[in-house]
């Protein structure tokens, strides 16, 4: 049974809230992921993982927030970003909207590193208005089970952005999107530099958008393993 909020009616949500106050909120970004990674990787991966967690735990899942804080990727066509302050306000108002209806436990499943700082700032801002809110954050690629698998199978070639792991996950969840993307050979990139970087600095240092990754190692099989590891880990931590 679908646990997607957008596929329910308001009376169904009202009934859900009589017994459960918990909602999953997938967040990500719309940004470049190198020459062979989908622009929607961050929100697509977070959304698919959230839907699977929702079905397993019978927890309602909000629609994904497809845009994040991706200012540093703006030198690459297709990237869409909020400013940090706008993102903080958007997250705060999402929590406040749901809180008004009676939700008081919010589990964010995040697919984008640039969101972490503004997310945690927004959580502090939301809890200023309601100290009873229980707000949790899972950055799926930071889960120990996921990082252990990536270290074993990709090593240092997993990189920091347009990683083998995140590309693999969407190869598994959205295989049709990769049919027209040609395979490439990748040269090593510079190690992760100082941070933050302006869009132009980022493009100059990482001209094809990758940060230390070798996406040729990505595969749907790895993606299926990583997807299941992330889902099972989050379900276990929510118990």
pLDDT at 1 > cutoff 80: no
Take residue 225 and report the two structure tokens written for it: 């393993």
Per-residue pLDDT of 37-67, as tens digits, reads 999 999 999 999 999 999 999 999 999 999 9
pLDDT value, residue 191: 80
pLDDT at 183 > cutoff 90: no
Q: Which residues pair with 27 in a beta bridge?
A: 65, 110
Per-residue pLDDT of 194-232, as tens digits, reads 889 999 999 999 999 999 999 999 999 999 999 999 999
Mean pLDDT over each residue of the chain, to the nearest integer: 97
- Tell me the C-alpha to C-alpha distance, in Å, between residue 57 and each of 67, 78, 177, 229: 26, 35, 29, 15
Predicted structure pTM score: 0.97
- Reported as half-sphere exposure (CB side, CA atoms, 13 A), residue 167 has a value of 27
* Sheet with 105-110: strands ordered across: 60-61, 22-27, 105-110, 134-139
Burial tier of 35 (Cβ tally within 10 Å: 0-12, 13-18, 19+): middle
Torsion over CA of 60, 2, 114 and 200, rounded to 10 degrees? Answer: -150
In the chain, what are the domains? 5-238 (3.40.50.10310)
């Amino acid at each position: 049974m679908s646990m997607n909020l957008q596929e329910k009616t308001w009376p169904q949500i009202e009934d859900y809230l009589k017994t459960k106050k918990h909602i999953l909120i997938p967040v990500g970004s719309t940004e470049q992921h190198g020459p062979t990674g989908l622009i929607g990787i961050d929100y697509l991966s977070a959304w698919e993982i959230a839907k699977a967690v929702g079905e397993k735990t019978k927890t309602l899942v909000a629609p994904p927030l497809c845009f994040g804080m991706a200012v540093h990727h703006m030198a690459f066509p297709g990237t869409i970003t909020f400013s940090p302050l706008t993102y903080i306000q958007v997250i705060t108002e999402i929590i406040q909207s749901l809180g008004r209806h009676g939700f008081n436990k919010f589990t964010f499943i995040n697919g984008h590193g640039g969101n972490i700082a503004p997310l945690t700032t927004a959580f502090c801002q939301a809890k200023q208005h309601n100290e009873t809110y229980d707000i949790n954050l899972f950055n799926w690629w930071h889960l120990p089970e996921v990082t252990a698998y990536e270290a074993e199978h990709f090593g240092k070639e997993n990189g920091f952005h347009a990683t083998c792991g995140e590309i693999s996950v969407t190869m598994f969840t959205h295989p049709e999107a990769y049919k027209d993307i040609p395979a490439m050979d990748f040269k090593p990139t510079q190690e992760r530099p100082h941070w933050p970087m302006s869009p132009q600095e980022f493009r100059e240092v990482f001209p094809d958008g990758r940060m230390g990754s070798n996406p040729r190692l990505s595969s749907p099989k790895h993606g299926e393993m990583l997807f299941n590891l992330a889902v099972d880990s989050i379900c276990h931590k929510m118990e």
